[in-house]
Structure 1
Amino acid sequence: MADYPAPYLIQFPKLGAADIGYISVGENTKDPLPFAMQRVFWTYHTPESILRGRHAHHRTEQVLIAVAGRIIVTTEQANGDIQIFRLEDPFVGLYVPPCVWHTMQYSHTAVQLALASQPYEEADYIRDFQEFRQRWSPQN
């Protein structure tokens, strides 16, 4: 299994000013993206009572961005380290490496943009938490 860093926040450039607005940019050819994008998707109008995600990936790396609203992301690494991230600035993304269980809870107005390193493939998902723990626990 490849060695990946723990989940971490990425700050995208914030270009502009309060009186004219801002633009933030991420490009495949340079920082701050740690991988070349193969897929982009977004979620929106998610009820606040719904917990999304609840999975890990075998190979896919992602950067999650709250382009509107607030998203609380909880990550758990195979060694049991749990981190909680509050995304609410559209120029800040969360890098989620493979082999990290993650869940997201959204404010009603939240729009999440996800940049992924792999095209969608159901076999890349591990959706059972116990299977995740067994597969990637430090004892294995």
Structure 2
Amino acid sequence: MQYQIINIKTVQTRKEGQLSFFEGAHDFPFTIKRIYYIHHVPAGAKRGAHAHKTLQQMLFCPYGSVTIFLSDGEKTEEIHLDNPSIGIVLQPGLWRDMLWNIDNSVLCVAADQYYDESDYIRDYDEYINYLKVQKEEANI
């Protein structure tokens, strides 16, 4: 499965909490072109239900708890993002679903591309067919 859990750099201040930060292209394998965040989502809501053909992303949850369900067409895994100093880098070709575990949790995403609707695969059957074509092309 093409993902990597990363520790986001975190500095403990004397009495004022912690400061977490990351630097694109230094802390993960791409330059950031877009940052977005999903918020005001009620607990129990599901989002995502898509894959990307070429986009790389780093997801982290600075507030609350979101579970990320991943599939590569053969295996599935789930990652709980509930610590603001932990992130997950997703490579292209992974199907993802996200479940909000706590009301108003915030999911932030740093991406290596500008928004491009044609990069999305939003139907799971289409995703499985896409993977088959990719494997066939790789074996040519």
With normalisation by structure 1, the TM-score equals 0.89
Which deviates more, 21-30 or 114-123? 21-30
Q: CA RMSD in A?
A: 1.6
Q: Does 1:115 align with 2:117?
A: no
Which moves more between the two structures, 80-89 or 16-25? 16-25
- State the distance in 2 between where 1:132 and 1:94 align: 21
AA aligned opposite 2:61: A
Shift of 1:24: 1.2
Structure 2 residue aligned with 1:130:
125
Counterparts of 1:1-140 in structure 2, within 5 Å, are 6-17=2-13, 19-31=15-27, 33-78=28-73, 80-106=74-100, 107-137=102-132, 140=136
Query: 1 or 2, which has the higher helix percentage?
Result: 2
Count of aligned pairs between the two proteins: 134
> Gaps spanning 5+ residues in structure 2: where?
none
Letter in 1 for 2:6: I
Give yes or no for contact 1:7–1:75 (8 Å, CA) kept in 2: no
Alpha-carbon distance between aligned partners in 1 of 2:29 and 2:76, rounded to the nearest angstrom: 21
Cα pair 2:25 2:32 within 8 Å, conserved: no
Identity in percent: 26
Greater shift, 122-131 or 20-29, is seen at: 20-29
Which string of whole-angstrom CA distances, capped at 9 and with x for unpartnered residues, describes residues 32-51 of structure 1?
x2210010000111122321
- The answer (yes or no) to whether the contact 2:43–2:104 under 8 Å persists in 1 is no
Name the stretch that deviates more: 68-77 or 21-30.
Answer: 21-30
SS of aligned partner of 1:115: strand
Give the ranges of 4+ consecutive aligned residues of structure 1 lying more than 4 Å apart after TM superposition: none
1:139, distance to aligned residue in structure 2 (A): 5.6
TM-score (norm 2): 0.89
Stretches of structure 1 lacking an aligned partner (at least 5 in a row): none
Whichever residue aligns with residue 91 of structure 1, its letter is S
SS in 2 for 1:108: coil
